[in-house]
Amino acid sequence: MLHAIAQHPEVAYRAGLASALLSIYAFWPYIRDILTNQTRPERASWLIWALLSAVSLLSQLYEGADRSLGFAAIQTAGTIIICGLTFWKTTQLRFKTEDSQVLTATAVGIWLWAEMESAAYSLFVTITMSMMGGLLTMKKAFLDPRSETWATWAAFFVSALLAVVAVGRVDWLLLAYPLYVMALSGGVMLCMAAGQLVQRRSPAPGAPEHRQHLTLSVMSFQRPGSPSASE
């Protein structure tokens, strides 16, 4: 019965529209929190996502996506904006070794995508590389849960779920990207929740020993008039 409902043209259309609108909203809390220094994004992650979301959009265009296309297009535009804000707010451009390795792997992945004739393989490479960037943000979300915006990741999760409904049929090429976004968003939220739980159980979460472990690229962020996270 649920399958029949999802295949109904009106349901698919409304789900696609709702997904696109929610996707637009999802970026706003994140951008707002960046500008107010409440959210400190993982630079390498957003650079990777800005590059690869464009690749995913091209792949879906090639495969003939229709209602679900708005989801990918809005994701691409919003990701590029946040990537730009991330570098604008940072105090240094140098990446950590871990970030540089992931960025290098991403460059290789983009080269493989350009060489591949199969849209299926290129989409697989895109999602794999994007998840590598996602792991960096998940790690940061666990170590410093307050450096991420919960509302944004929750909105991304629901938006991706609606995009799955908007596809209206079992087509794994068209479903792959929204399913990946669901996994990524859910993973970040779980890491934030787990990090908050660990911090609540920690006897002295503000102690130097605790802060010393927050060795992420977020260290390059510095709020105006306040010491950096590494001080």
Partners of residue 90 on adjacent β-strands: 221
pLDDT at 230: 41
> What is the C-alpha separation between 173 and 47, in angstroms, rounded?
24
Residue 147 counted as domain residue: yes
Q: Do the beta carbons of residue 221 and residue 89 sit within 8 Å? A: yes
Would 227 be classed as within a structural domain? no
Interhelix angle 172-201/43-63, nearest 10 degrees:
160
End-to-end C-alpha distance for the chain, whole angstroms: 58
DSSP 225: T
CA angle 188, 135, 42 (to 5 degrees): 80
In a domain, residue 225? The reply is no
- The whole model's pTM is what? 0.74
Residue 231 maps to a domain: no
Taken in order 29, 33, 34, 40, the sign of the CA dihedral is negative
Cα→Cα distances 135→48, 185, 203, 205, Å: 12, 11, 27, 23
Give dist(CA 134, CA 96) in Å, integer: 16
- How many domains does the chain divide into? 1
Alpha-carbon dihedral 121, 127, 128, 131, rounded to 10 degrees: 180
> pLDDT per residue over 99-148, tens digit each?
677 777 777 777 776 676 666 777 788 788 889 889 999 999 999 999 99
Q: And the tokens for 168? A: 């209206």
Q: How far is CA 81 from CA 46, 85, 105, 180, in A?
A: 10, 6, 23, 21
Three-state SS sequence of 134-173: HHHHHHHHHHCHHHCCHHHHHHHHHHHHHHHHHHCCCCHH
* 125 found inside a domain: yes
What's the pLDDT score for residue 31? 94
What are phi and psi for residue 90, nearest 5 degrees?
-80, 155
Q: 131 lies in which domain range?
A: 2-201+212-220
229 domain-assigned? no
For residue 221, what are the β-bridge partners? 90
In a domain, 226, yes or no: no
The answer to whether residue 188 is domain-embedded is yes
Q: Which residues of the chain have pLDDT under 70?
A: 1-9, 59, 63, 65-68, 70-71, 91-99, 113-114, 116-119, 203-231
Max Cα distance, the chain (Å): 58
